[in-house]
Structure 1
Amino acid sequence: MAVFGYGRVSTQQQDTENQRLELLRAGWDVNYWFADVVSGKVSAGQRKAFAEMLNKIRDGETLVVAKLDRLGRDAVDVLQTVRELANRNIKVIVSQLGTTDLTSAAGKLLLSMLAAVAEMERNLLIERTQAGLIRAKAEGKKLGRPSKTTPEQRSAILSEKSAGASISALARRYGLSRATIATLINSP
């Protein structure tokens, strides 16, 4: 039976090669490798390469991933993914956890505990991020992406729009998108 490997990274600047090599170093002879570049917030079922892998993997084969968080966005998603694979008699191995099959009774117990801890860590990270944003706002720091236009450009765009210029013409003239011009015009 074939061994399928799956990796995921969040941005184009990252690469799944380290995950693939980690599986090789752990002794896994991966026959088929699938990888997604997608945020961890996207559920496993909505990932292009993961869905493609699910269509190729057959009952009785094995899926191996380097780390638990590659399988889903949160504890519920990971558990649902493992259950669906278990229903197809597909073994799920997380190399980071050894060779325990997550579809076995011991694996399900281990998975439930680890997924709960992982979800708690994610929630704590969100809480810390929110606290940092609140503190930054309280300190008067401007958050978000820097403006693409200067105050003088914004004033000129508003003047030209009120004189009858179209949004498309303003976008071409200032090298901005129509959405940016529309937002600027409609903002208070």
Structure 2
Amino acid sequence: MSMAIFGYGRVSTREQTTENQRLEIENAGFKVDYWFTDEGISGKTHASQRPQFVAMLDKIRDGETLVVSRLDRLGRDAEDVLRTVRTLAERKIEVIVLQLGKLDLGSSAGKLMLTMLSAVAEMERSLLVERTQAGLVRAKAEGKTLGRPSKTTPAQREEMKGKYAAGETVSALARTYGISRASVLAVVNPSREPTGFGADGVPVALIDWDRRKSRGA
């Protein structure tokens, strides 16, 4: 059984065409048996979310060949490309990238390229973490509130504390204010143990049950 050659192209807008990418592949000496294109798909979209790329993966058989003009046709960033190539490698699919001089990513040189991609992916992750942390520090310094906005007003929270101190249960307060029990506990007992136990080691649910019992609920 002869092995087919697949080509894949992508452009960001529908006004663009992938025909130049196909011509580039054919001019490099590859006779494309099956051609798949994603048009109007941003380069920021993961390969696994590109409809025609997914269709191509369903069609191509183990051991066949995939040719693309550029490395970014295989994913949105280094990590995504690496994930895609590893998936293809598991199926013994030969991946040719013309941008890299018709490099077969399964060859020794290709594997070296994958090692470099892995390093780049790790660097991208580290930079993202650094940018996120820097953004949080800056936002905090500027006095911005982080996280989701509260569903209750300061006055409601004070009212909640008073009712809780007077013996109203966490469950009842949650129903009254339309919030979760965890949110109520964060207001009335912010120093509670995050594991769901009170400061005395008794489960919060048991404390709540005991309150209902004492009130004849």
Q: Which TM-score applies when normalising by structure 2?
A: 0.52
- Which of 82, 87, 110 is 1:79 aligned to? 82
What corresponds to 2:71 in structure 1?
Answer: 68
Matched, 1:14 2:16: yes
Equivalent residue in structure 2 for 1:99, among 102, 112, 123: 102
Which residue is 1:175 aligned to? none
Consecutive unaligned residues of structure 1, counting only runs of 5 or more, are: 128-188
Amino acid corresponding to residue 19 of structure 1 in structure 2: Q
Contact 1:5 1:63 (8 Å CA) reproduced = yes
| In 1: Cα distance, 2:29 partner to 2:70 partner | 15
Deviation at 1:96, TM superposition (A): 1.6
Aligned-partner Cα distance in 1 for 2:54–2:101: 25
Q: d(CA) in 1 for partners of 2:94 and 2:73?
A: 16
* Deviation (angstroms), 1:112: 4.1
**How big is the shift at 1:111?**
3.7
Alignment partners' CA distance in 2, 1:54 and 1:84: 10
Distance 1:50 1:20 in 2: 15
Match of 2:30 among 16, 20, 28: 28
Aligned to 2:6: 4
Q: Secondary structure at the match of 1:28?
A: coil
Residue 20 of structure 2: SS of its match in structure 1?
helix
Which AA in structure 1 matches 2:105?
L
Identical-pair percentage:
64
2:60 alignment counterpart = 57
After superposition, residues 84-163 of structure 1 pair within 5 angstroms as: 84-113=87-116, 116=120
**Residue 185 of structure 1: aligned partner:** none
Matched letter for residue 109 of structure 1: L
Residue identity in the other structure for 2:10: R
Q: TM-score if structure 1 supplies the norm length?
A: 0.59
SS in 2 for 1:4: strand
Which residue does the alignment assign to 1:180? none
Whichever residue aligns with residue 92 of structure 2, its letter is N
> 1:144-177 CA deviation, whole Å, 9 max, x = no partner?
xxxxxxxxxxxxxxxxxxxxxxxxxxxxxxxxxx
Counterpart in the other structure of 1:39 = 42
- The answer to whether the 8 Å contact 1:64/1:93 transfers is yes
What whole-Å deviation, never above 9, does each CA across 1:27-51 have from its counterpart, x for those lacking one? 1111000000200111101110000
Secondary structure of the corresponding residue to residue 13 of structure 1: coil
Amino acid at match of 2:49: Q
> How many corresponding residue pairs?
121
| Larger-Rg structure | 2
Match of 1:110, SS?
helix
SS in structure 1 opposite 2:21?
helix
**Residue identity matched to 1:85:** L
